[in-house]
Structure 1
Amino acid sequence: MSAQIIAIDAMGGDFGPRGIVQACVACLSEHPSLYLALVGQPQLLESLLAAYPGVDRARLQILPASEVIAMTDKPSQALRGKPDASMRVALQALRDDRVQAVVSAGNTGALMALSRHVLKTLPGVDRPAMVAAIPTRSGHCQLLDLGANVDCDAEHLHQFARMGAVLAQAQGVERPRVALLNVGTEDIKGNQQVRAAAALLQDSGLNYVGFVEGDGLYRGEADVVVCDGFVGNVLLKASEGLASMIGERIEAQFNASWATRLAGAVALPLLRRLREELVPARHNGASFLGLQGIVVKSHGAAGVEGLRAAIERARQQVQDDLPRQLAKGLAAWGAPGQAGEGRM
């Protein structure tokens, strides 16, 4: 297996570099072909790495960056200021082919703005989209956009669908079912943009299966579900909150009395397995599709397990050579607006 070289924005996220360093050390021990570049303040990172004397430093380097983009910084500030920020240095390393992917838990708006500025988009892509795997009854589906583009027209949704289909196919789905998220499944339902996007997708060459509602997404009615970033972000955050609330309610019920604690002891192995499958940290890591490079955004509040999942997502996309597959898949349909030239 060929090596995967990934740059990690070590200064991003809500909790600082300590957990990021811990996640990187764990990933290196799990994947012998993985090489990581921690991007940030060398003195601080070296002091944290001192706690792991057994780490293979031949596979873990530090790229110096003296500045940090705060979670409160506006995208314009990230673009015009802080030229030596860890996020920018990591993306420049990707642009210059020194690494094969970037993972950051930092400011989402800044990461998207800098990614577009430094890496540029693939031919035929107007806007990159954030995509993540959402667990369903039968496995998972790719949901996009998750917040990179709040306002989208029909052609943007059409492009997201094409990119999502390529991603699903790269993950082994032979003919991905593509759907538009909507308030109903009837043709007359939805706003103007969604109905116009449906018209484009019906003649796109994709395996378009129509509209899907929120509950249909979790039933596994599609492999790729497309929406604008406003809807996608609300759906994602609401789903994470619901999963957390249900878990807490179940735990509280089992601890209510000795009888329920006894029942909980019997059911505990099953509940732990279910929690492992649905826990948001396991599915952490949203990819920025449409860039000339692999960029994965980790949740800012992710712990070590979540950060490991984001790094693993980037590692898998490097292994799959996702940008090349995206470029090839998008070229099958020609330029934007030229539908029906390829079949997927």
Structure 2
Amino acid sequence: MSSETQADSINEERLNELVETSLVDLGATVHAALAIIGDELGLYAALDEAGPLTSVELAEQTDTAERYVREWLRSQAAGEYVTYDPDTDRYDLTPEQAYVLADKDSPVFMPGAFQLVSSLAKIEPDIREAFRTGEGVGWHEHDEDVFHGTERFFGPAYGNFLLDWIEALDGVAETLEAGGRIADVGCGHGAPTIRMAEAYPDATVVGVDYHEASIEVARERAETTGVADRVDFEVATAREYDGADYDLVTMFNCYHDMGDPVGVASHVRETLAGDGTWMIVEPYADDRVEANLTPFGRLAYSISTVACTPNSLSQEVGYGMGAQAGEEQTREVVIEGGFTRFRLAAETKTSLVFEAKP
């Protein structure tokens, strides 16, 4: 199609909408780095604790340079991340803004997510080449901040929702309260592993991840939180981890990353007790692509393109489920791996919690 013919066929309203979307995305791309700066320098925290503040006052509170802080505040106000009062030239956080940006225990704390997605972008040259070759890019090949950002993004949600999810499983909470054995596979820095060790002090808890550097951090976290005496960590893949007769095996937002999810399901089945339970937490997704064309779906598909799918393709089999696999595809691979019962046990706006039984 010639450029002249193409111009004639353009719908001006749709064109303007797409340009507006592009401008929003461009601003968001730069904003991600500024959100990380605001978090790491304590700018959000200071606004939450001492606001409303002028740029001079915020700079004094955080021992930063006022001219940078002034520009940062204006960018944050333009993005509605902070609130500006033109009559006093002061900036503040609403309770909602503070809950998202300054409360590290909030289930919707977002600076960790910005750290995660900004770090993922660093591997763009490798992903671009993978598009040409079809080869994979392993999780372990990413920048170190990806692992820390993942912990900070998902960790608060596990702290807030994890026990409710376990309560939604058939009889599992009671078993763990009486003791029981837990294997948290794909544990990363161990946020959910440690949370379960804290919640069920009589249970035996093992965290498993193939990424040795993450396991080292998990062991440090366990020492810091005082549960190192009742939680162990093992460097192993999801198809090869040790142990048997587990009452609960958990996988948090990692099953879709597996190269061989059917083989993983088969191994989980072998390591479970006869009446054991496998809890699989996956990103929220509908079974229909068109239903996932939402802001969250875009985020999940995008992260899946640069991290989840490449990781799966880097491993044996290379199934490539993707982060928006949905309930039915997850059910298919779990059942193929030897399970007979599978159901959706709980859900949030961003998570699906599945229960699989032998």
Give the TM-score normalised by the residue count of structure 1: 0.27
Largest Rg, 1 or 2: 2
Give the TM-score normalised by the residue count of structure 2: 0.26
